[in-house]
Structure 1
Amino acid sequence: MNNFFKIGERGSTVGTEVRAGITTFLAMAYIIAVNPALLSAAGIPVGAAVTSTCFAAGIMTILMGLFANRPLACASGMGINAVVAFSLTAAAGGDWMVAMAVIFLEGLIILALVLCGLREAIMEAVPVSLRHAIAVGLGIFIALLGLINGGIVVNDDSTLITFGSVYNPVFLVGIISVVVTFALYVFKIKGYILWGIIIAAVAGVPLGVTPMPTGIVQLPDFTTFMAPFQTAADGSGMAIVKVFVNPTLLVFVFSIMLSDFFDTMGTAVAVGKQGDFLDEDGNVEDIRKILIVDSLAASVGGLFGASSCTTFVESASGAADGGRTGLTSVVTGVIFLLAAFFSPLVSMIAAPATCGALVMVGFLMMNVVSDIDFSNPLDGIPAFMTIIGIPLTYSIATGIGLGFITYTLMAVCTGNASKVKPLTWLVDIAFLISFLIA
């Protein structure tokens, strides 16, 4: 095991990897409840959505660990699952199986782009300043997700967001999670992120935030599996065939593909920063293997009826907790598979308990901001647009797109157009198209 995962070579231990795997799972566990709740709006049975969510995440996370040997976990991506539930299914005439066929196809297209080297080439075409900016923007985004989970940042009709109520039990659990996690970090307690989640979850019991389980075992429901190849709701043939005869659905294939394409780039940089697998130029080591699994995961998510499965930014919590190898991912994946049978117990880890873990990861990712030269407009302005674009648009892909386009504009304005690589121009065009058709 040590030789296969290179545990000692990367300065880790089996115990650390196991703990990091548990930490990553707990930081992601909310997806087991949230994804089925969203997909049920598309008409997918909740029990079947729980099964597909757990199995897609478990299988692809284990594959990520075995094939890429990096501490990255996969699960149904937030944002795309909402698109599937509220937009894509409607465009497919209310047929969620056709919607899953769109997801299946966009995953195959991304996989083809990886195998031909295009996706990796585009990542390498990203300027160094933007790579650093993506990490910083992701850090703020991750922290924002945590603060929202903890009820510390809430919606407001007048100001869009505002400070939550200190009398709200969710807020109290979120604050406990943050304070405990940071305190344990200061005192250098091993596994401080995991302990922060556990202590906050326990504190949430008397406050009514941590739900008591309604049972222990829930048998899997596999009715959504092979959704793209099931007969469409109108009985006209296989669901996947209907995608090719509907121009609107083909547009969805392109737009979702672009989101998947760049979300993973940002996530890989973020986790690579915490997991110590970025080189001095900000390139992600073993990126090709990571992208192959991630692209396949998107397709498998559609095949299983779980929406697009993607590399989760919450993986950074496990990397921050010491995870350095694929063993972390294998542990996370195995727990996801077990969760398909014990989902009532998993639901006890409420989102507010993970607030501190995500805020801590955001803090840890801030140190790279000093590597950005803000005195140089060509580096500083695109970096700034990326940093604010990711959290303020609530979209990794959109933030990256704003950074790409701004970089090209600044290069032209500063007389450095020759520095813009041909692939960067192509990415700019793709983003402009996606913004216009969104």
Structure 2
Amino acid sequence: MSASVTPGEPGIFERMFPIRERGSTVRTEVLGGVATFLTMSYILVVNPAILSQAGLPFGAVVVATALAAAVATAAMGLLSTYPFALASGLGINAVVAFDIILGRQVPWEVGMACVVIEGLIAVALVLAGLREAVVRAVPTSMKLAIGVGIGLFICFVGLRDGGIVVNNPATGVGLGDLTAGPPLIALAGIFVATAMTVRGIRGSILAGIATSTVLGLVFGVLDGPDAVADWPGSDQFSTIGDALDPDNLADALTWALVPVIFALFMTDFFDTIGTAVSLGRAGKLDDAQGELPEMRRVLLVDSGAAVLGGAAGASSVTTYVESGAGVSEGARTGLASLVTAGLFLLAIPFVPLITVIGQSVPYVGDTTVVPAIAPALVMVGFLMTRLVQAIDWGDVQDAVPAFLIIAGIPLTFSIAAGIGLGVLGHVVAMTAAGRARQVHPIMWVLVPMFLAFFAEDWLSVNVF
């Protein structure tokens, strides 16, 4: 006769995770994991849409994105026991696609190798306990400005993908034909997402994507799927592992790419710290000092996830603030993360359906746009740009470098260039104020790096 289980005896999940200690239940954790997945699942469409513009195969990136998110999220749940989920980071993937691959004209495999190197640097800093030194080196206003600048950059990409903004020979950019099909369905999705955001309804980004997709299918702007679901073939795993080729890693370690790798690191590292701390406070998981216990484990998993994302061809994988959806539902442990990870795996067979959402359609001349993705990019840009209110615009020494970053990133269409302008502006501002000695040594080290970055063409002609 089998032994009976007494009421209140902890089950397998309660033995694996501190569910009772944190005032949660297995049911609450499961619901929280589902809520987090639904809130961040848009990345399965948006990440391939961005990276495919740089030449990566769309379907393969869908699979790589889902696999990398599942593995990293499961690792976070098991190693940190926190309800945090990870996936390819918006902003970081834009650096890889537009700044490295297209801007520097390197193969996508080399671009992903840059992500691997950035992740290894982050892992080394966490293991060495030097994350505090790096955090202190960059003024808070500049950290915030990087997020704002990337938000404007992503919004600009979204407006272009929707055909709302187009290239103009006279002015650089201009308004597209808003009576055409692609801009109309993109605007419809943006306005639906806007209305839901204003009303405080969750899932606004997904609703915007769904609106544009359904209207695109109804009015013939988008083609319907060949199938709803299908198990991916070997060609849809084609991006996995290429970044680890020694030749690609060697090509990534060039002087011209060092500042871009730094831009990747800055975007990833500081975003993770801010996200983890804010999620910990929302779930009352922080300690009396307002810090998240075992923060080092969170950063270690996140840094390792960047390496994983680059190796998979999915761009850097990072902790998602959308995990707050699960936390708000009551999730407090890594069990919620395991649920989210499982749902990412279950999404892999639906590549044919996801491909419909991310398809390119003809627009003006020989150009193509991705209108169903535009609502997500515009709304993510809005969310990131809200950081601007935390910058102290009354302090000119902080405000001017921050402004150079915010303006420089979208207007140069280069995240690394925007950060470089901010770094140089910070050093100039501090020196002009007679505070050169207060500039952190790391910032001084970055000055010749970014000067070489800006003078790369001159150096290649006259020196190298």
Q: TM-score range by the shorter chain?
A: 0.7 to 0.9
Distance 1:53 1:322, change over 3 A: closer
Distance 1:223 1:380, change over 3 A: closer
Alignment correspondent of 2:205: 193
Give the C-alpha shift of residue 110 in structure 1. 4.0
Aligned-partner Cα distance in 2 for 1:49–1:361: 20
Distance 1:139 1:31, change over 3 A: closer
Provide the identity percentage. Answer: 34
Aligned-partner Cα distance in 1 for 2:241–2:268: 25
User: Which of 124, 128, 131 in structure 2 is aligned with 1:116?
Assistant: 128
Q: Is the 8 A contact 2:193 2:205 kept in 1?
A: yes
Aligned-partner Cα distance in 2 for 1:309–1:225: 13
- Would you say 1:338 and 2:346 are equivalent positions? yes
Q: Mind listing any 5+ residue stretches in structure 2 that lack a counterpart? A: 1-12, 359-369, 458-464
Q: Is the 8 A contact 1:173 1:353 kept in 2?
A: yes
Q: Mind listing any 5+ residue stretches in structure 1 that lack a counterpart? A: 91-95, 230-238
Give the C-alpha shift of residue 29 in structure 1. 1.4
- Would you say 1:309 and 2:316 are equivalent positions? yes
CA RMSD of aligned residues (A): 4.1
Secondary structure at the aligned position of 1:353 is classed as coil
Aligned-partner Cα distance in 2 for 1:155–1:6: 53
Aligned-partner Cα distance in 2 for 1:365–1:289: 26
Distance 1:8 1:191, change over 3 A: farther
Secondary structure at the aligned position of 1:161 is classed as strand
> What amino acid is the match of 1:213?
P
* Paired residue total: 408
Q: Is the 8 A contact 1:105 1:253 kept in 2?
A: no
Give the C-alpha shift of residue 331 in structure 1. 5.8
Give the C-alpha shift of residue 211 in structure 1. 3.6
Give the C-alpha shift of residue 269 in structure 1. 7.1
- Would you say 1:218 and 2:231 are equivalent positions? yes
- Would you say 1:406 and 2:425 are equivalent positions? yes
Alignment correspondent of 1:353: 372
> What amino acid is the match of 2:267?
D
Aligned-partner Cα distance in 1 for 2:123–2:449: 18
Distance 1:103 1:269, change over 3 A: closer
Measured against aligned partners, the alpha-carbon deviations of 1:298-348 in whole angstroms (never above 9, x if no partner) come to 4334544x1643438xx55x3686766777865664444334332111223
> What amino acid is the match of 2:37?
G
Alignment correspondent of 2:39: 23
Q: How does 1:286-301 map to 2 (within 5 A)?
A: 288-289=296-297, 291-301=299-309
Give the C-alpha shift of residue 38 in structure 1. 4.0
- Would you say 1:59 and 2:71 are equivalent positions? yes
Aligned-partner Cα distance in 1 for 2:121–2:54: 25
Aligned-partner Cα distance in 2 for 1:367–1:301: 27
Q: Is the 8 A contact 1:219 1:341 kept in 2?
A: yes
Deviates further, 61-70 or 137-146: 61-70
Distance 1:331 1:174, change over 3 A: farther
Secondary structure at the aligned position of 1:155 is classed as strand
- Would you say 1:262 and 2:266 are equivalent positions? yes
Distance 1:170 1:250, change over 3 A: same
User: Which of 81, 88, 106 in structure 1 is aligned with 2:106?
Assistant: 88
Alignment correspondent of 2:88: 74
> What amino acid is the match of 2:307?
S
Q: TM-score, normalised by structure 1?
A: 0.75
Q: Is the 8 A contact 1:174 1:200 kept in 2?
A: yes
Q: TM-score, normalised by structure 2?
A: 0.71
